[in-house]
């Protein structure tokens, strides 16, 4: 499975979009392009985006408002704002709307890459402090840091690395219907048809192992034309 960070670049300048994508991919990032806010929202809905590089001026709205709306919707994906305007007031506005960094045009690719790595380091450190790693569901206890699953009686339920990665995707997004592409994306897989069948196979194995250990057969439902739905209530365990 791919461990490359997935970056969404949003800019209405086709040349800048092409150049940034090429340069970021050369630095081992996975890149999705969007020429406007509509394409940005579609990419966010259908992919696991690790960071957004967002231009301020777009044909269907401005980046400041888009950033603010994402934060209001509880989307905490890191955002780096791009703008030809370098005035201090614009930088302040960018941070007030929830951006993680603001960079003025023109800029070097190396500068942007350095900022991206800096933002990833900062958000990773914050996540380690704040995010729960242990959860319960239907009597099972899953520890994401230890990559273990125990029954209520303390018996280990053994999963392969790929199976655990997929189960983790559902634990972190309880109650959501996820398509095969989203499951692959969130588990760092490549969203290609060649791997679609592997998702079905691994989910079938996860179901069987949980069912054999006492779990409900309705825990992971198949949604016609939509993917899969993890129906069990997931509760964080206090440290």
Output 168-175 pairs: Cβ under 8 A, ≥24 positions apart.
Answer: 168/142, 168/144, 170/220, 170/228, 170/230, 171/135, 171/137, 171/142, 171/144, 171/230, 171/234, 172/144, 173/230, 174/137, 174/230, 174/232, 174/233, 174/234, 175/229, 175/230, 175/231
**Backbone phi, then psi, for 87, in 5-degree steps?**
-65, 150
pLDDT tens readout for residues 159-215: 988 889 899 999 988 888 888 877 877 776 543 443 456 788 889 999 999 999 998
Task: Report how far apart, in Å, the C-alpha atoms of 12 and of each of 36, 40, 82, 106, 168 are.
Answer: 6, 11, 12, 15, 36
Residue 196 lies in a domain: yes
For residues 62 and 163, membership in a common domain is answered with no
Q: Which residue has the tokens 């760092």?
A: 188
In a domain, 178, yes or no: yes
Q: Show the CA angle centred on residue 238, arms to residues 237 and 239, nearest 5°.
A: 115
Give the pLDDT confidence score for residue 191 in this predicted structure: 39
- Indicate whether 1 belongs to any domain: no
Decide which of 68, 95, 129 is a domain's last residue: 129
Give the Cβ contact number of residue 183 at 10 Å: 24
Structure tokens at 152: 């209520």
Sign of CA dihedral 106, 109, 114, 116: positive
Closest CA relative to residue 171, chosen from 210, 123, 200, 114: 210
Domain that holds residue 122: 6-129
The tens digit of pLDDT for each residue in 1-20 reads: 346 889 999 999 999 899 99
Domain end call among 114, 129, 144? 129
State whether 51 and 145 are in the same domain: no
b/e per residue, 160-180, with b = 16+ CB within 10 A?
A: eebbbbbbbbbbeeeeeebbb
Burial string for 100-118 (b: 16+ CB within 10 Å, else e) reads bbbbeeeeeeeebbebbee
Q: Are residues 88 and 183 in the same domain?
A: no
- Give yes or no: residues 223 and 203 share one domain: yes
CATH number of the structural domain spanning residue 104:
3.40.50.2300
In this predicted structure, the answer to whether residue 36 has a pLDDT above a threshold of 80 is yes
Task: Output DSSP code: residue 156.
Answer: B
Quote the CA–CA distance of 5 and 121 in Å, as a whole number: 12
pLDDT-wise least confident of 6-10, 52-56, 87-91, 180-184: 87-91
User: What are φ and ψ of residue 111, in 5° steps?
Assistant: -65, -45
pLDDT at 21 over 90: yes
Q: Whose structure tokens read 């499975």?
A: 1
Global pTM? 0.60
Residue-level pLDDT at 150: 95
User: Among 64-73, 117-126, 132-141, which stretch is predicted with the lowest mean pLDDT?
Assistant: 117-126
Structural domain count, the chain: 2
Q: Distance from first CA to last CA of the chain, Å, rounded?
A: 30
Q: Does residue 52 carry a pLDDT above 60?
A: yes
Confidence at residue 129, expressed as pLDDT on a 0 to 100 scale: 54
């Amino acid at each position: 499975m791919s461990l490359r960070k997935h970056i969404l670049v949003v800019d209405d300048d086709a040349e800048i979009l092409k150049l940034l994508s090429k340069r970021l991919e050369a630095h081992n990032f996975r890149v999705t392009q969007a020429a406007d806010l509509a394409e940005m929202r579609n990419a966010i809905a259908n992919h696991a985006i690790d960071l957004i590089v967002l231009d301020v001026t777009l044909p269907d709205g401005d980046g400041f408002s888009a950033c603010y709306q994402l934060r209001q919707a509880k989307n905490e994906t890191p955002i780096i704002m791009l703008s030809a305007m370098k005035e201090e007031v614009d930088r302040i506005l960018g941070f007030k709307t929830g951006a993680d960094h603001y960079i003025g045009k023109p800029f070097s690719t190396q500068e942007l890459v350095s900022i991206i790595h800096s933002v990833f380091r900062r958000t990773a450190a914050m996540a380690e402090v704040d995010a729960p790693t242990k959860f319960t569901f239907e009597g099972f206890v899953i520890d994401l840091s230890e990559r273990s699953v125990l029954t209520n009686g303390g018996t280990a339920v053994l999963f392969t690395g790929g199976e655990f990665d997929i189960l983790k995707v559902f634990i972190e997004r309880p109650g959501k219907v996820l398509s095969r592409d989203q499951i692959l994306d969130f588990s760092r897989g490549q969203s290609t048809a060649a791997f679609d069948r592997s998702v079905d196979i691994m989910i079938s194995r996860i179901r069987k192992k949980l069912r054999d250990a006492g779990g409900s057969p309705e825990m992971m439902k198949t949604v016609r034309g939509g993917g899969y739905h993890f129906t069990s209530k997931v509760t964080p365990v206090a440290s």
